[in-house]
A = this chain, B = another copy of it.
């Protein structure tokens, strides 16, 4: 082509909100910045895009560089571009969010992040830039999604008990759920595979383990089935 766009342009980054779940809490993965601005403060992992790199790739690359996390479920969340969101200059960021199972993923800090750690959503440090806003948006999306689709399975181990699953919904939606109703509904959705295995090393009676039936779920989605719980 005969010309390119020659006006000034904003800088462009990606940022990732990575949610993890332990027994009691929804957690988010943060990195501690070792460069200005906000040096020493906690922030979402992310960074500047390279020309010629797709947005998805940028998000995956920066996440891996800063935390060691890779090959995880990652979904685009929203773009943030308020002119004053970065003190340096106008920076537009596309935020992503991800769900991981905390027992299977342990992040390691690398390159331009000094430190990476999981923080409970109930005990967050002050965040750099507008990252508190981005985190709120991700949480809102997560809550909206679990109401309509069984999206939270990535937060659980591959095999889980119905109690663990109920616990996940209760933590994300921040509400108590009736056990009997929950079990009736979740079984009726027909997206769980009952395994022959049971919990190990528990004081109470060992509960049966289930797996998420991704294939059958996809079939039902294609049929327009409703997954509201």
- Of the residues B1, B5, B36, B83, contact of A11 by C-beta under 8 Å: B5
Q: Is the CB of A9 within 8 A of B12?
A: yes
The answer to whether A36 touches B1, judged by C-beta atoms less than 8 angstroms apart, is yes
- In the assembled complex, the Cα of A118 lies from the Cα of B50 at a distance in Å of 37
Q: How many residues of A contact B (CB 8 A)?
A: 40
Contact mask for chain A residues 188-229; partner B; CB cutoff 8 A; 1 contact, 0 none: 000000000000000000000000000000000000101010
Query: How far does the alpha carbon of A82 sit from the alpha carbon of B51 in the complex, in Å?
Result: 10
* Interchain CB contact (< 8 A) of A83 among B5, B9, B53, B81: B53
Complex CA gap A148/B55 in Å reads 29
A2 at the interface (CB under 8 A from B): yes
A43 to chain B, nearest CB (A): 15
A88 to B10, Cβ gap below 8 A?
no
Cβ-defined contact, B55 with A89, below 8 A: no
- Tell me the chain A residues, 116-169 only, with Cβ under 8 Å from chain B: 147-148
The answer to whether A71 has its CB under 8 Å from any CB of chain B is no
Query: Out of B48, B55, B228, which one reaches A5, CB within 8 Å?
Result: B48
A sample of 6 cross-chain residue pairs with beta-carbon separation below 8 angstroms, ordered by A number, consists of A7-B51, A8-B51, A9-B11, A12-B12, A54-B83, A55-B80
Known: A9-B49, A49-B81. 10 other contacts (CB 8 A): A5-B88, A7-B48, A9-B10, A9-B11, A9-B51, A54-B81, A55-B92, A79-B79, A92-B94, A147-B224
Which 4 A-B residue pairs are closest in the complex by CB-CB distance? A55-B81, A8-B51, A52-B83, A1-B88
